[in-house]
């Protein structure tokens, strides 16, 4: 009986996984078409770019410099650090000297308003922003020259409360870093587009880009209310959505420069995000069990020896998963160099099922070298 149950469960899981792959391809095709049809706009209000920083990220100088090279008429950049001796400060000083025509300020943010130190920085940086339109992105994000114009464009519509965007992971040479980049391209980004396509709307935002008006913060309780949340970007977008505002995906892709993760650091990072998602969206996280096409189909084939249909199911799952990966890497993320690592996809997918299961074994996460417990999306000391 247990074997028959395992066959039934794994076969059902494989079928749902195949259907999910089809939805991924449908969602990606729809997004690709919308992006091709997007029209440029002359909407270009002054923007305050807020960059909370802590230490030097991979390609840190190039990533920060890219924000200074924007083809945009009027913007300022506000950098925030907790300590004036932070290792990133000389890089900021260098940029200020290199681009004297751009308004740049360095804000030291010593106060702690909650467990999320990034939000604490933002709370202290915000009063320095001169403009109504704000843009926040993570410290390790690298952008193209037309980034600001494309990220701010959807806010021309007064019904749009926030803009976010997709991103591609730029892997270092380590296996852990390559697996992380593949997770972004073949798991997280497809999930974002599927959620948008199936719901007909986006109800969250990502730290790759958060563009909004200062008045939006007033409508959702301000940044201070996010001070204990780990996924502050998700929470900010979700609160804007609940306040009746539309969340839009910009038609640009940014780059997330990944560190040289070891395998243990990759496992740690994946478990952190799994437990964060589970804490914020327990039902949505549980439903992820229906997305693991390769692991379930492999289990079905192994527990049904000699059954041709089971191996057909497995090879179909492999083909569809590679089709999803190829479509996203080539047509959505424009990341052809990542194709050389696609052989890792079945390994990554099987590890994803392990992470999904492991997530339920506790609530502890490690973030920037410190241990926390996540409960209802909020951080507390472990």
Q: What does each C-alpha distance from 189 to 168, 293, 328, 358 come to in angstroms?
A: 8, 17, 8, 22
* pLDDT given for residue 281 in this prediction: 85
**Distance, CA of 49 to CA of 92 (rounded, Å):** 14
**Distance, CA of 277 to CA of 283 (rounded, Å):** 10
Tens-digit pLDDT profile for the chain (382 aa)?
A: 488 899 999 999 999 999 999 999 999 999 999 998 888 888 999 999 999 999 888 888 999 999 999 999 999 999 999 999 999 999 999 999 999 999 999 999 999 988 999 999 999 999 999 999 999 999 999 999 999 999 999 999 999 999 999 999 999 999 999 999 999 999 999 999 999 999 999 999 999 999 999 999 999 999 999 999 989 999 999 999 999 999 999 999 999 999 999 999 999 999 998 998 898 888 889 999 999 999 999 999 999 988 999 999 999 999 999 999 999 999 999 999 999 999 999 999 999 999 999 999 998 998 777 888 888 888 888 7
Tokens of 326: 């190829």
Asked if 216 contacts 105 with a C-beta cutoff of 8 angstroms, the reply is: no
Tokens of 149: 């114009």
Q: Taking Cα atoms as reference points, which of 28, 89, 24 lies closest to residue 61?
A: 89
* pLDDT given for residue 203 in this prediction: 95
**Distance, CA of 272 to CA of 374 (rounded, Å):** 9
**What is the residue whose two structure tokens read 């959702």?**
220
**Distance, CA of 352 to CA of 274 (rounded, Å):** 10
Tokens of 52: 């909370």
- How does pLDDT run across 55-102, given as a tens digit for each residue? 888 888 999 999 999 999 999 999 999 999 999 999 999 999 999 999
Q: What is the pTM of this model?
A: 0.94
Asked if 97 contacts 68 with a C-beta cutoff of 8 angstroms, the reply is: no
- How does pLDDT run across 194-237, given as a tens digit for each residue? 999 999 999 999 999 999 999 999 999 999 999 999 899 999 99
* pLDDT given for residue 371 in this prediction: 87
Give the list of residues 6+ apart from residue 100 with CB closer than 8 angstroms, or none.
Answer: none
* pLDDT given for residue 3 in this prediction: 85
* pLDDT given for residue 306 in this prediction: 83
């Amino acid at each position: 009986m247990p074997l028959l149950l395992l066959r039934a469960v794994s076969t059902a899981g494989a079928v749902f996984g195949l259907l999910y792959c089809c939805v991924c391809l449908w969602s990606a095709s729809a997004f690709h078409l919308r992006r091709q049809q997007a029209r440029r706009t002359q909407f270009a209000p002054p923007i305050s770019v807020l960059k909370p920083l802590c230490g030097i990220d991979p390609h840190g100088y190039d990533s920060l410099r890219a924000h200074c090279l924007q083809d945009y008429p009027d913007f300022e950049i506000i950098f925030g650090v907790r300590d004036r001796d932070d290792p990133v400060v000389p890089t900021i000083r260098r940029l200020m000297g290199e681009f004297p025509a751009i308004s740049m300020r360095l804000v030291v943010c010593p106060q702690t308003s909650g467990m999320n130190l990034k939000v604490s920085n933002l709370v202290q940086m915000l009063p320095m922003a001169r403009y109504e339109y704000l843009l926040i992105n993570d410290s390790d994000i690298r952008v193209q020259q037309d980034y600001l114009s494309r990220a701010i464009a959807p806010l021309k519509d007064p019904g749009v409360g926030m803009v976010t965007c997709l991103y591609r992971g730029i892997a270092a040479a380590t296996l852990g870093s390559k697996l992380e980049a593949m997770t972004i391209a073949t798991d997280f980004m497809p999930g974002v587009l599927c959620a948008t396509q199936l719901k007909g709307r986006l109800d969250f935002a990502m730290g790759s880009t958060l563009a909004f008006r200062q008045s939006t913060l007033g409508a959702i309780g301000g940044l201070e209310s996010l001070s204990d949340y780990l996924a502050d970007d998700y929470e900010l977008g979700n609160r804007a959505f609940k306040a009746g505002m539309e969340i839009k995906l910009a038609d640009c892709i940014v780059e997330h420069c990944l560190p040289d993760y070891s395998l243990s650091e990759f496992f740690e990072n994946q478990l952190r995000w799994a437990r964060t998602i589970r804490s914020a969206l327990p039902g949505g996280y549980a439903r992820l069990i229906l997305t693991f096409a390769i692991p379930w189909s492999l289990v079905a084939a192994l527990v049904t020896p000699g059954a041709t249909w089971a191996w057909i199911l497995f090879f179909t799952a492999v083909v569809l998963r590679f089709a999803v990966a190829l479509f996203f890497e080539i047509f959505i993320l424009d990341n052809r160099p990542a194709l050389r690592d696609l052989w890792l996809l079945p390994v990554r997918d099987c590890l994803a099922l392990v992470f999904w299961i492991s997530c339920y074994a506790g609530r502890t996460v490690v973030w920037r070298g410190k241990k926390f417990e996540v409960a209802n999306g909020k951080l507390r000391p472990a």
